Amino acid sequence: MQTKEQQRAAFALECVERVFCNSMDKDTANFVVGVPTMILTNGLGQTLAFLLSKQKPGEDNKHTKTFKTIKAWLERQGIDKLNPDDENLVFLKKFADLKQRNYLRAQQEALAMLQWLKRYVRAFGEGED
């Protein structure tokens, strides 16, 4: 049985390999490293809305990939009302309706997973010193 930290680490590594592998340049790595600060400054809901607003049709950019990664982790955590099959808009609506306790749990989980994602993008990002 894995600890929660091991689960977060495995998920983040899987995302780096599967989601970010073809676009892991220094700019993407620096962006991912800054996402936790965005969450702490603005809140998770606002950060998710920002990431989704930067989505470009037919393009999987760093914003979209980061949104999908956070969304997938939160869905995996079984936080009340969040469904893995929801479209992004439905997901955000349900997220906005979370009770405060579940919202804070989601934010804490996102930040904890992003710590591992940051480590891995720094380790595997191209152009890093």
pLDDT tens-digit series, residues 35-49: 999 999 999 999 999
Helices (H), the chain: 4-18, 26-42, 44-53, 62-76, 88-96, 100-124
* Banded pLDDT at 105 (limits 50, 70, 90): very high
Helix (H, G, I), strand (E, B) or coil at 56: strand
- Contacting residues for 47 by C-beta, under 8 A, at least 6 apart: 35, 38, 39
pLDDT of residue 83: 65
The DSSP symbol for 59 reads: B
Per-residue pLDDT of 66-92, as tens digits, reads 998 999 999 888 876 666 666 888 888
- Contacting residues for 97 by C-beta, under 8 A, at least 6 apart: 81
pLDDT of residue 82: 67
Return the structure tokens found at 126.
């191209």
List the chain domain ranges: 4-124
Check whether 97 has a pLDDT greater than 70: yes
Check whether 16 has a pLDDT greater than 60: yes
Please give the CATH superfamily to which domain 4-124 belongs: AF1862-like domain (1.10.520.30)
pLDDT of residue 23: 61
* Banded pLDDT at 24 (limits 50, 70, 90): low
92/86 Cα distance (integer angstroms): 9
